[in-house]
Structure 1
Amino acid sequence: MEKEVHEFFTLLDWAVVVVYMLLTTWLGHKLSGKQASIKDFFLGGKTIPWWAVSGSMIATEISALTFIGVPGGVYALSGDWTYLQWGIGSIIARLAVAYWLVPLYYEKEIYSPYDFMGNRLGEGARRLVTGLFSLGAILGQSVRVLVTAIILKVVTGMDVSVCIMVIGLVAVIWTFMGGMQTVIWTDVMQFCLFIFGGLLAFGILAGQLGWGQISVLNQVVIDGEHVNKLRWIDLTTPFQDPTLKYTMWVALLAMPFQNFAAFGVDQLNTQRMFCCGNIKDARKAMAWSSVSILITILMLAVGAGLFAWYQVHIPGGQLAESFKANPNYVFPTWITLEVPAGVSGLILAGAFAAAISSLDSILAALSQTSLSVIYGRERLEEEGKGEEMVRLSRIVVCIWGVILTAAALLLWVVYQRNPDSDLIGLAFGMVAYTYGPLLGVLLAAIIPLRSHVVGLVIGTMASVLLVSWFRPELPMLLDVAGLKDLSEAVIGSRPSLASEWFFPVNASLTLVCGLLSGLFVRK
């Protein structure tokens, strides 16, 4: 009888995972310092070095999903390196944030971009963008936790529900202990482990096969046509195929908007930037986070190596079926089977900790933004109330931890009823609902023309409805609700378009609606 993959995960591997998690928790606590005020808890006292902030940004971006999903995407028969093109738009956006947005944000001491937008557009706009961020965080992060839990189940044999609850519990503990100080320093540890794991995997693959053989084995014939899986440029225009995501046109015209929102508007990343003591350090942290593209290249190379490896060591039985059903199982399975015991546990501990790292980051961001809306800036910083507000912040972290864990568990129930659902695509597609409107409100706050919150709300609602029509989530929910006929009607009536185009489209739609309302609605 063929052994399950998790049976190769030894007691030594488990010991390494436990020791690593305990060590990371202890070090994060030791480096967190004293949390005497709300500024200490949410901004690390503005004393964290820029290189640590930059490493934390990269660790959050290169999550466990990316660490496992990018090699899996290359391994898939139709996969190649065209994902790398998105890095161009990412670098453009980060430099724009560093040299345009950072000076605006540092004009006044603020905790989030939503404070900036609220100062410019009013309290209604601040509540709108805070609500958008909270919704996007719950949807996007719960999917990422679920995907990581499903993959870890393959490797460790733990039940998915148990994986989700463990990730949620440890994330709450890390954030609870020391706020952003603990979050950032634990992120830096994950960043180092990512690099170690990627280099080790590529070293083993290239050392045993040789890059020349890997290159040759990545030239395949699909449906009678030669395909180069190392191809990284795709110049197909949206007029030729509007469904393609990994093209140069998407990279240059759509992804700068997505990344500008991700690093300039999403509190998940901007909160780190506010932890720097001055504009110069914040700029350096943001600009240097662009080196994440080198990690992307490394993981693409690992994917090519895995494809070549399994051309030489052809998998059979359950393993072949597993890889065919979901290519994202390939890298964690290879780590478990081919990397020496103990070392494999260390790499997979990094993947496990990465999911926790992303979750504790979002917990800190959600706690700060929700308290800011409820109490306001003045009350949060009221003289003599520092310790009380820190205690309250920790309570809110626990509440958000329960909400996000429950959302991931609910998604697991939905997924079990629809096992063919594309959770990986769902994880990346969720931001299409909120990033466009968030960016539109930010632009309305920056440009000198007057906007009104009524129009911004209308633009946001129109944007969400537009994305819902194109994305697969609405038909999936209709299926779960037993409305299959309505689901088929929705699918049959909509055109096809890659979700990435909604970043510039929805930003423009929200901005135009806000400007029009500024003309017609009295102040």
Structure 2
Amino acid sequence: MLIGAIETHFTGWDWAVVAFYMVFTTWIGHVMSGKAATVKDFFLGGRSMPWWAVSGSMIATEISALTFIGVPGGVYAAQGDWTYLQWGIGSIIARFIVGYWLVPLYYAREIYSPYDFMGNRLGEPVRKLVTLLFSLGAILGQSVRVLVTAVILYAVTGWSMTWCIVAIGVFALAWTLMGGMRTVIWTDVIQFGVFLLGGVLALSWLVSHLGWDEIVAVNRGFTTPEGVAVDKMRIFDFTLPWENSLLNYTFWVGVIAMPFQNLAAFGTDQLNAQRMFCCGSQHEARKAMLWSSVAIATTLLMLAVGSGLFAWYQIKGLTPDEAAKFAEDPNNVFPVWIVTVLPPGLTGLILAGAFAAAISSLDSVLAALSQTTLSAVLGREKVEAEEGSARMVKLSRWTVVIWAIFLTSFAVWMAASRKDAEDKNLIDLAFGMVAYTYGPLLGILLAAILQGRRSFIGIVIGVVLSMALVAWVRPELPRLLEALQISPEALVQSRPQIAFPWFYPINAILTLACSMLPIGRIERDTDS
């Protein structure tokens, strides 16, 4: 391999494969989508999607380029290992709870989102509040996924991050407008297949050239420059929370905190829940949810790829260009390896899958944001009454356009603000950003389901306190204060020492408790 700019390894053949793949996927999505004649067709796929396609779409959205790039990058980092896999325990627990508890509740009446359910139970002000929370969480969380794919484009093309993000946004907008959720789901299924193929091909290449035993030996026998021995294939960490409250990847986080996170992700986040509503019955929706648990196998595959990449560069060494890219951001390791090691054409196919997967994640959130916005602004009754009108479908499409511009712009801002960040772990960044909203959303859902009187003022208090707690611990507020030329020193020195995953259960319980305050009582509709 010649020493030179990384970008020169991405050949004309690769660009041709990327172009063909994007056009082919767009065509397939168009053919499979049918005509979105009503709002239900546009947002829920006419509630006629097969469960296996919905399940594949759930997996593709959950995995996305974040897992494809962030997981190998996390393993490659000096202190990286496989402990991230412990989070999968909580994910599987939550899917069974959603499938057997929430799905029957949601399918009892024809609704478009969990926010319709919460609004029906607790009133229109609550519906608008949770829609606002979802919108905020979608902007924070999905902008990271856009950023991940921009990292790939940047690594292999040398384009500016801004142009990389804009290109992703334009394609996502086109795919969403093409046919709504039918297009989103069918293109997701294609992306999942290519993602899986890319991971298998990469691991097979690494094993065939290094040998699995050699990969294991290098990863288990690694010592950092500081002389610290690291088992980079370690899975379990049983450190108790009171022994070290700052660890994100422990067994206790996996079995206690992450079920709350995944309950919020699959039960209250319209990005995922919208897929459930595309099934024709609660039985089909439950099957789609439970079978999406196989996503953990994809995570395991990408962890193995990360260990293979670490062994590859420990044995083969780094060129100056590679060393510079990896020092800039460990998440560059997999795209750079794909471009510089794999043969032309295959490089283009795998990276095209990564691009398309990120686009499919973005078009999913655009569809979800648009649906919830219309429901909150116009009222669910008006949307349902005019669901077959050309005016409402046109309005749905314009809402998609507005959100696409906003979300792309926010991703551009995040890319600029991330340049000086010390922590480059994209997995932590993505999950940390949704910590602002997932706890409150789950708390409000529990307030809607569980018996007892509720207070709208109390719910608002719980939401404000929850978000303030996260802002106190997360790094975003100090960075904002610094940008405003305000010293964040006092804030940083007083912050509690706690890992962000614990805010999922803490804030859910806090919001639920505040909803019971004896002020501003809500007249509950328990028949919804």
**Contact kept in structure 1, 2:453 and 2:521, CA below 8 Å:** no
Instruction: Identify the residue that residue 131 of structure 1 maps to in structure 2.
Output: 132
**Contact kept in structure 1, 2:3 and 2:319, CA below 8 Å:** no
Instruction: Identify the residue that residue 408 of structure 2 maps to in structure 1.
Output: 405
**Contact kept in structure 2, 1:454 and 1:517, CA below 8 Å:** no
Moved more, 507-516 or 486-495: 486-495
Instruction: Identify the residue that residue 10 of structure 2 maps to in structure 1.
Output: 9
Give the Cα–Cα distance (whole angstroms) in 2 for the partners of residues 193 and 251 of structure 1: 28
Cα drift, residue 383 of structure 1: 5.7
**Aligned with 2:454: secondary structure?**
coil
Give the Cα–Cα distance (whole angstroms) in 1 for the partners of residues 227 and 365 of structure 2: 47
Give the Cα–Cα distance (whole angstroms) in 2 for the partners of residues 225 and 482 of structure 1: 39
CA deviations 1:313-369 (Å, max 9, x no partner) are 011323123223321111100000111101101101111111111110000000000
CA deviations 1:86-136 (Å, max 9, x no partner) are 000000000100000000000000000000000100001111100000011
Instruction: Identify the residue that residue 184 of structure 2 maps to in structure 1.
Output: 183
1:439 equivalent in alignment to 2:449: no
Instruction: Identify the residue that residue 316 of structure 1 maps to in structure 2.
Output: 319
Give the Cα–Cα distance (whole angstroms) in 2 for the partners of residues 378 and 321 of structure 1: 56
Give the Cα–Cα distance (whole angstroms) in 1 for the partners of residues 395 and 382 of structure 2: 12
**Contact kept in structure 2, 1:143 and 1:423, CA below 8 Å:** no
1:220 equivalent in alignment to 2:222: yes
Letter in 2 for 1:128: L
Letter in 1 for 2:63: I
1:451 equivalent in alignment to 2:482: no
Report the TM-score when normalising by structure 2: 0.96
Letter in 2 for 1:290: S
CA deviations 1:444-475 (Å, max 9, x no partner) are 00001111211000100000001000001111
Give the Cα–Cα distance (whole angstroms) in 2 for the partners of residues 374 and 37 of structure 1: 18
Instruction: Identify the residue that residue 526 of structure 2 maps to in structure 1.
Output: none
Aligned length: 519
Instruction: Identify the residue that residue 195 of structure 2 maps to in structure 1.
Output: 194
Give the Cα–Cα distance (whole angstroms) in 2 for the partners of residues 203 and 17 of structure 1: 22
Instruction: Identify the residue that residue 377 of structure 2 maps to in structure 1.
Output: 374
Equivalences for residues 82-97 of structure 1 within 5 A: 82-97=83-98
Cα drift, residue 480 of structure 1: 1.8
Instruction: Identify the residue that residue 478 of structure 1 maps to in structure 2.
Output: 481
**Aligned with 2:229: secondary structure?**
strand
1:106 equivalent in alignment to 2:107: yes
Cα gap change, 1:383/1:433 in structure 2, threshold over 3 Å: closer, same or farther? closer
CA deviations 1:485-518 (Å, max 9, x no partner) are x212211111221000000000000000001246
Give the Cα–Cα distance (whole angstroms) in 2 for the partners of residues 95 and 337 of structure 1: 42
Cα drift, residue 142 of structure 1: 1.7
Letter in 1 for 2:473: F
Instruction: Identify the residue that residue 146 of structure 1 maps to in structure 2.
Output: 147
Letter in 2 for 1:167: I
Give the Cα–Cα distance (whole angstroms) in 1 for the partners of residues 231 and 386 of structure 2: 64
Give the Cα–Cα distance (whole angstroms) in 2 for the partners of residues 121 and 307 of structure 1: 51
Equivalences for residues 89-488 of structure 1 within 5 A: 89-218=90-219, 219-222=221-224, 223-382=226-385, 385-416=388-419, 418=420, 420=422, 422=424, 424=426, 425-483=428-486, 486-488=487-489
Give the Cα–Cα distance (whole angstroms) in 2 for the partners of residues 405 and 316 of structure 1: 34
1:18 equivalent in alignment to 2:2: no
**Contact kept in structure 1, 2:442 and 2:508, CA below 8 Å:** yes
In the alignment, structure 1 segments of 5+ residues that lack a partner are none
Report the TM-score when normalising by structure 1: 0.97
Give the Cα–Cα distance (whole angstroms) in 1 for the partners of residues 213 and 46 of structure 2: 50
Letter in 1 for 2:170: L
Letter in 1 for 2:171: V
Moved more, 74-83 or 249-258: 74-83
Moved more, 131-140 or 215-224: 215-224
Cα gap change, 1:16/1:517 in structure 2, threshold over 3 Å: closer, same or farther? farther
Give the Cα–Cα distance (whole angstroms) in 2 for the partners of residues 40 and 117 of structure 1: 23
Equivalences for residues 18-97 of structure 1 within 5 A: 18-97=19-98
Moved more, 321-330 or 199-208: 321-330
Cα gap change, 1:366/1:420 in structure 2, threshold over 3 Å: closer, same or farther? same
Cα drift, residue 426 of structure 1: 2.6
Cα drift, residue 45 of structure 1: 0.4
Give the Cα–Cα distance (whole angstroms) in 2 for the partners of residues 314 and 231 of structure 1: 24
Give the Cα–Cα distance (whole angstroms) in 2 for the partners of residues 482 and 143 of structure 1: 25
Cα drift, residue 182 of structure 1: 0.3
Give the Cα–Cα distance (whole angstroms) in 1 for the partners of residues 431 and 112 of structure 2: 26
Give the Cα–Cα distance (whole angstroms) in 1 for the partners of residues 435 and 522 of structure 2: 31
**Aligned with 1:495: secondary structure?**
coil
Q: Aligned-residue CA RMSD in angstroms?
A: 1.5
Moved more, 281-290 or 66-75: 66-75
Cα drift, residue 423 of structure 1: 6.8
CA deviations 1:236-287 (Å, max 9, x no partner) are 0111110001100000110000001001110000000000000110000000
Letter in 1 for 2:316: H
**Contact kept in structure 1, 2:65 and 2:149, CA below 8 Å:** yes
**Aligned with 2:515: secondary structure?**
helix
**Contact kept in structure 1, 2:74 and 2:80, CA below 8 Å:** yes
Cα gap change, 1:521/1:264 in structure 2, threshold over 3 Å: closer, same or farther? closer
Give the Cα–Cα distance (whole angstroms) in 2 for the partners of residues 148 and 63 of structure 1: 9
Letter in 2 for 1:505: I
Cα drift, residue 420 of structure 1: 4.2
Q: Structure 1 segments of 4 or more deviating over 6 A?
A: none
Cα drift, residue 47 of structure 1: 0.7
**Contact kept in structure 1, 2:51 and 2:287, CA below 8 Å:** yes
Cα gap change, 1:439/1:300 in structure 2, threshold over 3 Å: closer, same or farther? same
Cα drift, residue 225 of structure 1: 4.3
Give the Cα–Cα distance (whole angstroms) in 1 for the partners of residues 436 and 485 of structure 2: 24
**Contact kept in structure 1, 2:21 and 2:352, CA below 8 Å:** yes
**Contact kept in structure 2, 1:436 and 1:506, CA below 8 Å:** yes
Give the Cα–Cα distance (whole angstroms) in 1 for the partners of residues 125 and 200 of structure 2: 48
CA deviations 1:135-170 (Å, max 9, x no partner) are 111122123212321332011222211111111111
**Contact kept in structure 1, 2:387 and 2:393, CA below 8 Å:** no
Give the Cα–Cα distance (whole angstroms) in 1 for the partners of residues 133 and 113 of structure 2: 14
In the alignment, structure 2 segments of 5+ residues that lack a partner are 524-528
Letter in 1 for 2:336: T
Give the Cα–Cα distance (whole angstroms) in 1 for the partners of residues 504 and 149 of structure 2: 26
Letter in 2 for 1:281: E
Cα gap change, 1:409/1:384 in structure 2, threshold over 3 Å: closer, same or farther? closer
Letter in 1 for 2:313: Y
**Contact kept in structure 1, 2:151 and 2:332, CA below 8 Å:** no
Cα gap change, 1:419/1:82 in structure 2, threshold over 3 Å: closer, same or farther? closer
